[in-house]
Amino acid sequence: MNAVLTTLAFAIAAGAAAAGNAPADNAPAGDDGWRPLFNGEDLSGWRANLDPDAFAVEDGLLRVRATGPKRAHLFYVGDAGNGEGNGDGDFERFRNFELEAVVRAEPNSNSGIFFHTDRTLRDAKGHLATGYELQLNSSARERRKTGSLYAVVDLDRSPVDETNWFVVRLAVRDRRITVALDGETVVDYTEPENVERPASRAGRRLSPEGGAIALQAHDPDSVWSFRSIKVRPLP
């Protein structure tokens, strides 16, 4: 009897420990308003515009690696594809929000998180035409480093070691965009009214209606992993 009770107690303790170590980001949205976008199991709620094999779930992580020369993007669609939520049938729209992701990269890897974007392309390579890109880059050949608001506020040195897990926090509040890495703010930018961009970046602006969140697969040599991705709306 004592052996049975001991075994049972061990099993209960082990189950409690496993539950305590489970990634909270994959739980349903709580009272704090955070909603997980990645469930740690599959790509439910996500849809690629090109190169769908560039995105896969392995060992509970969302792995991003292009299989060809074109840029591919994984859009969060949520229930938008079913005509529900805040989507237009192609993706879910986010206007004012916070996004938090836990990420890491293999050496010399390039990626990005796009926001206020859509599926419009600006060239044959597959670059997105609209919205902003939060740069993720451990590549020596790309001068715009992790944390940059690509081609708007560029960092020439990375504040983190991308080969270790780190936390990215993006916030959009009306015309203000902030980026924090491991709790340190690295970008605080307010988009001017009637902002003008170079012709090649004409769509790099916030949309009054909000836009999509999308992850970039940059090239076959770049590998990024996302352990968790969550979002919460802001007023």
pLDDT of residue 121: 97
Q: Which residue has the higher pLDDT, 40 or 84?
A: 40
- Distance CA(34)–CA(29), nearest Å, equals 5
- Quote the tokens at residue 95: 């206007």
| Nearest partner of 101 among 45, 177, 182, 31, judged by Cα | 182
pLDDT of residue 3: 42
pLDDT of residue 90: 82
Fold (CATH) for 26-233: Jelly Rolls (2.60.120)
146-157: average pLDDT:
97
User: 3-state SS of 24-57?
Assistant: HHHCCCCCCCCEECCCCCCCCCEEECCCHHHEEE
Residue 60 has pLDDT above 70, yes or no: yes
Residue 80 has pLDDT above 70, yes or no: no
In the chain, DSSP finds a helix count (H) and a strand count (E) of 1, 13
15-38: average pLDDT:
57
- Distance CA(41)–CA(83), nearest Å, equals 24
pLDDT of residue 32: 87
pLDDT band, residue 29 (cuts 50/70/90): low
pLDDT of residue 8: 36
pLDDT of residue 89: 54
Using one digit for the tens of pLDDT, what is the confidence trace for 36-50?
Answer: 999 999 999 999 999
Residue 73 has pLDDT above 70, yes or no: yes
pLDDT of residue 110: 97
Percent of the chain topping pLDDT 90: 80
Q: If you average pLDDT over every residue of the chain, what do you get?
A: 87
pTM: 0.84
